[in-house]
Structure 1
Amino acid sequence: MAEGGATHGVEKRKGVYQFAYKRSADQDAAGPVRRPVVIVGAGPVGLSLAIDLAEKDVPVVILDDADRIGEGSRAICFAKRTLEIWDRLGVGDKMIDKGVTWKLGKCFHENDLAYQFDLLPEEGHRMPAFINLQQYYVEQYLVERALDLPQIDLRWLNKAVKVAPHADGVVVTIETPDGPYEIDAEWLLACDGAKSPIRDMLGEGFKGHVFEDRFLIADVKMAADFPAERWFWFDPPFHPGQSALLHKQPDDVWRIDLQLGWDADPEKEKQPERVVPRIEQMLGHSNFDLEWVSVYTFQCRRIDNFVHGRIVFAGDAAHQVSPFGARGANSGVQDAENLAWKLALVLKGEAPESLIETYNLERSAAADENIGHSTRSTDFIAPRSAFERRLRNAVLDLARTAPFARVMVNSGRLSMPSVYDTELSTEDQDVFAGSARLGGPLPDCPMQTADHRDTHLLNELGDGFTVLYARDGGRPNSVEGATLKVIGDDLLDSEGLFKRRLDATPGSTYVVRPDQHLAARFRTFDAGKVKHAIDRACGRA
């Protein structure tokens, strides 16, 4: 995207990317045009989902009611698993190069350090534990990638205003500057955010908790030599009785969160005359400029079912969590990854439509896990009674000297990848040690190709299913329905970390899903077991 110019009908002014509305051929059709997939919402979740589907040769139409990105930082913390997904989608390096890499967090009680943590103490991973990167950069890089893929038709100022589900699809009515038109979508994927109009059209409400507290988010631009770490304060002297958070972003921008209390007026608290003195009190100076201000309320909620016939919800449209812990956008991108490969198989006739139900099962369980962590974080950060506050403060006091108390300190459990229930059959009950978890994403590690080129394990996995086999004298001829990679032949365990992390012994066999999650593992290769594991993961068993 050119600065101050236009590329793909895009213009950048003062940090905001504005996209030109373009009339589509569907608007001139006699009736609703049939499209395989329509995605509503061009945020990080919708764009990631569209790119993933397009790379699997599935045509996608993305509808967005806006014509711009770049208004406010919004989400900024992106976890290792999300970066691994984006790396597979071709945008990982851009995110890393621009983002602020970090892995250390520190928690303070008043003026004292209560404890600190390291989110990625081991070496040998291509992606860092976390980066901080403004959401407008994330969306910019994803839009650039989407515009390079011919399978994606990205339509700005196209607002979905009505949905009419039928037996094998959904008719979507869309408003544009040229008037309304309709698309008949085989599948409609609602990635339209926390205030999802699609969810409202179906009458689906959130269930869960809205916590009686308010928090101020302020992004400030300033020169500072604070390290690239996550700093969290309980009851700091500059904001007594409340909590505060400081994070570094690119371009000398810093994210500050300040707890306000339930009685705070959201509109008044966003005014500069209220925000600036609070930040001056925190920083001890006024050498900063306000970039963006918002006030939010903790919410931990989700809809009952993420799948409604041919309408599927993902990201904030399906679930909401409080922002401490960075579980919102990260879990939404994992929603997209889980859904993309399954929907691609269904559309190509390689899996039954019932496979989409496993998206609901796996990602609603992940949402429940995230909501549980987020709820516990909220209870610790914002105690609901004097007794809870005394208990919280006692834990913080103990954490200074007692290691056992540190695990009880909860300033937001940072986002971790989901581990899915693989519905183990009786024949894959072999015992494995190591850090790899059945149902979880495969741990990355440095490898070499057969010609001794340095690489990483995740970069060598196939687009579909991959079978990894630790060489035991020979190699299988082939694997039905998967790409075969022989460790010790196709890939070399250059630092011994594959053996350690996957507890690999000669003959060990690992079945990896298209989303890089470990579907099955066996101590010896058995073609029948491998085929059954793949069939089971595809909903064919």
Structure 2
Amino acid sequence: MHIDYQLLRFEYQRSPDQSAAQVAHHPVVVVGAGPVGLATAIDLAQSGLRVLLLDDDRCLSHGSRAICFAKRTLEIFDRLGCGDRMVEKGVTWNLGRVFHRDEPVYSFDLLPEGGHHRPAFINLQQYYVEGFLLDRARSLPNIEIRWGNKVAALDAREDGVELTVETPEGDYRILADYVVAADGARSPIRRAMGLESKGRTFRDRFLIADVRMKADFPAERWFWFDPPFHPNQSVLLHSQPDGVWRIDFQLGWDADPEEEKRPERVIPRVRALLGRDAEFELEWVSVYTFSCLRMERFRHGRVIFAGDAAHGVSPFGARGANSGIQDAENLAWKLALVLRGAAPDSLLDSYDAERVAAADENILNSTRSTDFITPKNESSRAFRDAVLELAKDCAFARRMVNSGRLSLPSTYRASPLNTPDSDVFDAPMVPGAPALDAPLGDDWLLRRLGGGFTLLHFGASAPTMPETVPAIRVVNLSTEEDAGGVAAARYDARPGTTYLLRPDQHVCARWRRFDPQDVRAALDRATGRA
């Protein structure tokens, strides 16, 4: 059954908290029912926590907005129980092409090797992503969603956060042990706390035109520098489901946003790209200016910021939504352990350390992409054009072309939760790295790992792990299961090699032989108890 998620409207419903004699208590309140807020709520609920999700609106996002979702994000969606729906609906792609003026420069493959369950990227409109996440959230009985509930004020104290919630029937108050602010780039919670994001705003404007049409373009990412149909500017083309194509036109800083959104301005631009006789209709149009910025800290006591509320980047490279989903997966397991009493409150400081570093990495890559795409003077434009000409024949120049370094998950190399290597390894699975997938017959490694602390052991038989808090699940890989040797190669494994993986499927320690005392010590470190 097809659901038009853009047309869904959710009724405000009075909650028992509004009539309670005392201020109601909730372990965790998530504010904002976008992709980041929904992912956080689902992850927390899957760990057994009771979650309250507040949203001041009564609908999902309008327009395609974020459309590119990376392999790592799809693996997170798998763990949240909705990855298959995302991939089945989305447009899968691994290839991209770069053009300069009217000539192809080169193409690239973002996933050149086999043995991965998920593609490098899918394209899927944000309203589908939110809709599929919402369907999953509604299937979990320990998530309560309140639409039309706006956080009007908050009082952050040492023992909790008191929220004043505004509704059509008046205000009420609730008390939360922790609040996750996933309330978007203009974050009302950030403003209410007197906090701000700082960074750089780029003096350029871009037009997004979602166009419904029948086209012969392949499902690839095409990027033009200075094309004849849009001279001196850049254009990006992506395929989406339902016969919709995303076209980004660079406009320049002097463009009038309201004027450029008018159909009589948009249609000639699209027709110049597609051809005079092309048949199409406009689905959604938006003009945007962007910034690369972040809050100084993402954790402020018992209020924790995630997604666009914490950081913002340019859309080139698909780093916004993907990094927000990775915020959610980083935070949820830590918050769950703290609320269950299995880890100290200080574990949440590692969320700040790891995700601030990840935001800085994304901002650096995003800034470099934008500087290459939008040169600020004639000398930088001459340099860029020379690089593009060289890139047609020279591999070294292709590494310098930057049409948006596409999103990759962060490796938390400096994390305080890592146990440094004591053995020699020749593999990228260093402590802090996200685990790589591998085929295991009819199954996949990441699906086998699940969402808790996992001991991944390579050997003929599984080692015996004493009871721990939190519990560690043992997954043993024999040479028969890893028949192609892909997992062993990616983890540089030999008989006895052992990895300890966090609930977010990042490596926190690895050894050449299993020792329960070493594992216990690494677990204490990974849960902030060392």
Q: For this structure pair, what is the TM-score category when the shorter chain's length is used for normalisation?
A: over 0.9
* Secondary structure of the corresponding residue to residue 264 of structure 1: coil
Deviations 1:232-280 (A, max 9, x none): 0000000000000000000000000000000011111111111111111
- Alignment partners' CA distance in 2, 1:373 and 1:484: 37
Matches within 5 A, 1:98-113: 98-113=89-104
Q: For the residues of structure 2 that align with 1:530 and 1:46, how far apart are their CA atoms?
A: 33
The aligned amino acid for 1:459 is: R
Check whether the contact 1:435–1:443 (CA below 8 A) recurs between aligned residues: no
Q: Is the partner of 1:96 in helix, strand or coil?
A: helix
Contact 1:193 1:316 in 2 (8 A): yes
Aligned to 1:415: 407
The 5-angstrom pairing of residues 57-206 of structure 1 reads 57-206=48-197
Counterpart in 2 of 1:451? none
SS of residue in 2 equivalent to 1:21: coil
Partner of 2:451: 463
Q: Give the C-alpha shift of residue 433 in structure 1.
A: 1.5
d(CA) in 2 for partners of 1:392, 1:310? 46
CA contact (8 A) 1:479 1:527 kept: no
Residue 488 of structure 2: aligned partner: 499
CA distance in 1, matches of 2:265, 2:302: 47
The runs of at least 4 aligned residues of structure 1 exceeding 6 Å deviation read: 424-427
Write out aligned runs for 1:95-494 (5 A): 95-285=86-276, 286-420=278-412, 421-423=414-416, 428-448=421-441, 454-471=442-459, 475-476=463-464, 478=466, 480=468, 481-488=471-478, 492-494=481-483
RMSD of the TM alignment (CA)?
1.6
Q: SS where residue 297 of structure 2 aligns?
A: coil
The separation in 2 between residues aligned to 1:352 and 1:447, in whole angstroms, is: 36
> How far off its partner does 1:533 sit?
0.9
1:538 aligns with 2:527: yes
Supply the AA of the counterpart residue of 1:527. Answer: P
What amino acid maps onto 2:448 in structure 1? E
Contact 1:435 1:502 in 2 (8 A): yes
Distance 1:135 1:18, change over 3 A: same
What is the CA distance between 1:354 and its match in structure 2?
Answer: 0.4
1:179 CA displacement? 1.2
Please list every run of 5 or more consecutive structure 1 residues that lacks an aligned counterpart in the other structure: 4-11, 449-453
TM-score for the superposition, normalised by structure 1: 0.95
Kept in 2, the 8 Å contact 1:446–1:455? The answer is yes
Taking the aligned partners of 1:234 and 1:297, their CA distance within structure 2 comes to 19
User: Aligned-pair distance for 1:298?
Assistant: 2.6
- AA aligned to 2:403 is S
The verdict on how the C-alpha distance between 1:471 and 1:224 changes in structure 2, with shifts beyond 3 A counting, is same
- Residues in 2 aligned to 1:47 and 1:425: alpha-carbon distance in whole angstroms: 28
Q: Does the 8 Å CA contact 1:447/1:494 hold for their aligned counterparts?
A: yes
Q: State the distance in 2 between where 1:168 and 1:93 align.
A: 40
Separation of aligned partners in 1, 2:257 and 2:483: 55
**Does the CA-based 8 Å contact 2:96-2:108 persist in structure 1?**
yes
Aligned equivalent of 1:45, options 31, 36, 39: 36
Helix, strand or coil: the match of 2:426?
Answer: coil
C-alpha distance 524-279 of structure 1, shift in aligned 2 (>3 A): same
Q: How does 1:15-30 map to 2 (within 5 A)?
A: 15-30=6-21
Cα offset for 1:62?
A: 0.6
Listed as ranges, the gaps of 5+ residues in structure 2 are: none
- Percent identity of paired positions between Structure 1 and Structure 2: 59
Q: What SS is found at the alignment partner of 1:349?
A: coil
Equivalent residue letter for 2:377: S
Once the two structures are superposed, residues 152-185 of structure 1 have per-residue CA deviations (whole angstroms, 9 ceiling, x without a partner) of 0011111111111111111111111111111111
- Which is worse superposed, 344-353 or 165-174? 165-174
Mean Cα deviation higher: 369-378 or 430-439: 430-439
Contact 2:417 2:508 in 1 (8 A): no
Name the residue aligned to 1:7: none
Match of 2:202, SS state, is strand
Task: Tell me which amino acid in the other structure corresponds to 1:152.
Answer: I
In 1, the alpha carbon distance for the partners of 2:9 and 2:462 equals: 57
SS at match of 2:49: coil
TM-score by length of structure 2 reads: 0.97
Q: Secondary structure at the match of 1:437?
A: coil
Displacement of 1:438 in angstroms is 2.6
Q: Residue 174 of structure 1: SS of its match in structure 2?
A: strand
**SS of 1:16 mapped into structure 2:** coil
Are 2:417 and 2:528, in contact at CA under 8 Å, matched by a contact in 1?
Answer: no
- What amino acid is the match of 2:364? G
Contact conserved, 2:418 with 2:432, CA < 8 A, in 1? no
